[in-house]
Structure 1
């Protein structure tokens, strides 16, 4: 289907941390991937040798349906014409969304018209590499070695914006898209590949709007990818799901002998050396991020909790706070700035109330906080010459990154599954080449921040 110079996949990620998760899956599979902050033009793609996959890091997960349509429609229109057999709308692996915020159903409605020859949209959310599984339509996620049904997950069932109270992905999606959603269940994915393909064709003949794939193990994950890839021979296909789509496709591409193009390393072949200091900025309220912050403080990081008043002040930089962070970094210390310490932190409610008082409603808070953190992060980086930074929080990371003047990212090294260290591409020479790790609230080991600081590779 493709030569070594053709694109295999284009994707749009509904938040930045999820976008780097997808990029990592592709890059670790051997397929050079560039992640852009806006849909790339052909001239932009020519700057990078041997690209096999391209992504656009978005922020639709934090958007209302109207805002989502404005962001996603032009991106999908361009990606549908970019020449890739598959265009993927990348969701979180825990599928957190709602009719009001980050509606995956709305994303499907907005994107389908650009794929006129396609009746059924494949949906694949499970990702065994990340501890995410789908069985008979029910979704499960691992945390601390235990696997929980999504509506009983200790974090996702209590998400501050989109709590997951329904584990059946079909029922959850129907709240956002009132159309038929079929299922390719785990038993139908069992057996001879040709028999499975025949079952898949029969499912397509029923013409459901969406077809969900169960996911349990790598073998059937690759088989699902084969079904999706071979269907794309009929014309470009629109697919929805987590980075399980990327893990599935890279596994199948290797089996099918579809090579990644030879190319230079993202860092030009230079070694990645440990950093003497880093800045970690967290807009996440998850229990996972809480543990990571506490672990970092125990490992010698300096911590600064951002006051609610500083977040809410539109007009002034928090000079005292920034000055302290800059002093510590210039003294060789690593620093973590954070807005909240876990889902029970009283600062969450206080921040919402303070923002509401200045006219920032719940759906706008992620962007507002992210842009504040982004401006502060760039200021600290420029005044300290810092070259390695961590941003934690899927809902805010995209807005933080956009304030930093970045146009592209490429994976440098894996740190924790779904949260790699990346190289920054920027027209601003001061920012170009910065090493950046973006981490969603549910990703990373307790010592993630120290792992980023100490990361090294040849």
Structure 2
């Protein structure tokens, strides 16, 4: 049962900027599955764009700030935030990764808060990072993530503690964020949430300096309480740097209020005979998925990174030719740049970049652009209807190269990695199905599942 529309404000409820493309689709999945119509745009949405998709309650703008410098963010984010704020939603979100990927020099969350908070009228800036459905938990300000059923404090996490760009050396998010901003950082912990003291705590801590208030999320109870707190204390508008935990929290509260359906979920995808995958992820999760896919009959082809950096077109054409050959044999091609954090392509990447006369950042971008060109040329020369991209930065490069105007969720696959429909002014791209998978998302057989349309059982959002 859904309550009358008058129970919600008219128009948009939330607008968001995604710090990477995989996270942007994660948000869209969370709200779509909860019955909140959502669309993700690859350019700042206009009133005309919204009119094309009537009934939207949330709109997003996919970005690439997670891998960018504060200087880039200062040049690019204000216009994006202002555009989204002008749409009039009471909540403006800077969508961050649920593993808080950031540092003072790369993907600074503090930098984003400084630019976004002044655009909203609120005197506090809530932050929800924990997302139990994604196995992310915040407890007394510390962030934990589970891998294969085993929980890890984030500074001891097998991937995030060794992340090649933003390694997590501190699990207390207050301390981690304090390295990126001089803004006051406070905490509403799980005990205050459960005792019903959170609203009073907000009133005590809010101020003209608009502090960032981290909110613990450990389980369904604290998740719903976090959503209630933010929605009921939104005032004239709030800016929130949060993971998709914010969407799950709001949906949990709205569900209790009868504003969204009690039974959430997404349709199951139909199977297709072949897909193409490109991966720029260095995650051990993706490495396992690549190895599993190879055993399941995918044609796995490694990019030669030194050659890609020195002679990009030659290496791109070689990979495309290998992929087309695989398609002709009835296989699904999988082109990848690395297989896990211990791959020599990762551990030796600085030397590979230096040999090509490039900085690490320049070389990483060229790898992403190479994967994007592989996929673009492969689509131009084949009849593929479904593709998968693994890795946040890679997803941004690939999606940006495919003439995509917007994305919508059409089916579930794994938590945080839905199947999306491409909306494009280019006829041959319009209707393409795409999955943008974060490095740590999905089961070992995810790529075969994406081809078969299998859904991994998980708790409802």
> Secondary structure of the residue that 1:355 maps to in structure 2?
helix
Counterpart for residue 210 of structure 1: 212
Q: Is 1:199 aligned to residue 201 of structure 2?
A: yes
Distance 1:243 1:151 in 2: 21
Q: Is 1:377 aligned to residue 375 of structure 2?
A: yes
Deviating 4+ runs (over 4 angstroms): 1-5, 205-208
Counterpart for residue 25 of structure 1: 30
Distance 2:269 2:9 in 1: 28
Q: Residue 53 and residue 165 in structure 1: after superposition, are their counterparts in 2 closer, same or farther (change >3 A)?
A: same
Q: Report if the CA contact (8 A) 1:408-1:424 is conserved.
A: yes
Offset from partner CA, 1:387-424 (integer Å, 9 cap, x none): 11000011221011101111111111111100111101
Counterpart for residue 238 of structure 2: 237
Offset from partner CA, 1:125-160 (integer Å, 9 cap, x none): 000111111111111001010010000101110111
Q: Residue 125 and residue 85 in structure 1: after superposition, are their counterparts in 2 closer, same or farther (change >3 A)?
A: same
Q: Report if the CA contact (8 A) 1:5-1:51 is conserved.
A: no
Counterpart for residue 291 of structure 1: 288
Distance 1:123 1:33 in 2: 21
Counterpart for residue 448 of structure 2: 450
Q: Is 1:411 aligned to residue 409 of structure 2?
A: yes
Counterpart for residue 252 of structure 2: 251
Distance 1:310 1:429 in 2: 34
1:259 positional shift: 4.6
Structure 1 segment 55-454 matched on structure 2, within 5 A: 55-115=60-120, 117-192=121-196, 195-204=197-206, 209-232=211-234, 234-259=235-260, 272-313=269-310, 316-318=313-315, 319-454=317-452
1:24 positional shift: 0.6
Q: Report if the CA contact (8 A) 2:96-2:243 is conserved.
A: yes
Counterpart for residue 3 of structure 2: none
> Secondary structure of the residue that 1:413 maps to in structure 2?
strand
Distance 2:78 2:357 in 1: 27
Distance 1:393 1:444 in 2: 12
> Secondary structure of the residue that 2:169 maps to in structure 1?
coil
> Secondary structure of the residue that 2:55 maps to in structure 1?
coil
Q: Report if the CA contact (8 A) 2:124-2:207 is conserved.
A: no
Q: Report if the CA contact (8 A) 1:63-1:363 is conserved.
A: no
Q: Residue 238 and residue 403 in structure 1: after superposition, are their counterparts in 2 closer, same or farther (change >3 A)?
A: same
User: How many residues are aligned here?
Assistant: 446
Distance 2:251 2:451 in 1: 29
Q: Residue 45 and residue 2 in structure 1: after superposition, are their counterparts in 2 closer, same or farther (change >3 A)?
A: farther
Counterpart for residue 45 of structure 1: 50
TM (norm. structure 1) is 0.93
1:314 positional shift: 5.6
> Secondary structure of the residue that 1:178 maps to in structure 2?
coil
> Secondary structure of the residue that 1:222 maps to in structure 2?
helix
Offset from partner CA, 1:321-370 (integer Å, 9 cap, x none): 21121111133211111101110111124443333344532234443222
Distance 2:7 2:360 in 1: 45
Distance 1:208 1:6 in 2: 26
> Secondary structure of the residue that 2:233 maps to in structure 1?
helix
Offset from partner CA, 1:179-202 (integer Å, 9 cap, x none): 32111011111134xx44223322
Offset from partner CA, 1:294-329 (integer Å, 9 cap, x none): 010111111100001342146524323211211111
RMSD over aligned CA atoms reads: 2.1
